[in-house]
Amino acid sequence: MIRLLFGLTPLLLCACVSTSNGSGGARNDKDAAQANMQLGVAYMQQNNLPVAKEKLERAAKQAPRNADVHSALAYLYERLNQPKQAENEYRTALRLAPDNSEVSNNFAVFLCRNGHTEEALKRFEAASQDRLYRTPWAALTNAGVCLRGVKRFDEARASFERALRMRPNHAEAAYQLADLQLNQQQPDAASKTIDNFLTMAASPDLLLLGVRVANARGDRVQRESYARRLRRDYPNSAQVRALPELMQ
């Protein structure tokens, strides 16, 4: 399974903002833009894209130099299948905040999805090297996914391994590495990757992948162990519902 990690900056959602009397029109516009941005992101998360578009475009008019607004609007245009508008908004956001690695990572995700692999990889690498970026391991994981998508498997594996060295309990990097190893007919290596991660944490995706890996290895005991833990820890998950087909 190939998937990219998108980090949308304005995730702290609040429908109200505080304003102070005498703060001036510029301050009021800034507060209004912040409120509209947060509402736009909330509507996007609810898949109400028309209202999200209205809120985010209004925020961009109120605060045209706010990089977070342009980044959120770019992602909305991606969701609306308007890649040209999305690219324009990402480039605007980066022009306004050239050192914002979260925006750079998001733009790189967009570039990878649209076939601009080399520019995407440069941006992922730059984000991973930024000491102020909160999740550099996510950029490395994204780089690995991007490389895997163009069948550069050795480089992809190295990128996932770098992400795990940086953040050993990063579930997505562990999942992507183990899934790649399984698809490259290396079930023993995949099993080791999964088991190393499960000593620190768990995720339903990795446990279900563990079932697939155990099947590939012909290890029914290990398969039942993963399945039992999945049922116990994530009883209502989609992964549990997918188990019967793998347990035959």
- Run of H or E residues at 239: helix 238-241
- Cα separation, 174 vs 169, in Å, equals 8
Is residue 230 within 8 A of residue 237, CB to CB? The reply is: yes
- Cα separation, 198 vs 227, in Å, equals 13
The number of residues making up the chain comes to 248
Q: Which value, in Å, is the radius of gyration of the alpha carbons in the chain? A: 21
- Cα separation, 156 vs 148, in Å, equals 5
**Please, which pLDDT band fits residue 15 given cuts at 50, 70 and 90?**
very low
pLDDT tens for residues 180-223? 999 999 999 999 999 999 999 999 999 999 999 999 999 999 99
Is residue 233 within 8 A of residue 202, CB to CB? The reply is: yes
Q: What is the pTM of this model?
A: 0.85
Residues 122-146 have a mean pLDDT of: 95
Q: Give phi and psi for 202, each to the nearest 5.
A: -150, 160
pLDDT tens for residues 99-109? 999 999 999 99
- Cα separation, 128 vs 139, in Å, equals 6
Residues 36-59 have a mean pLDDT of: 95
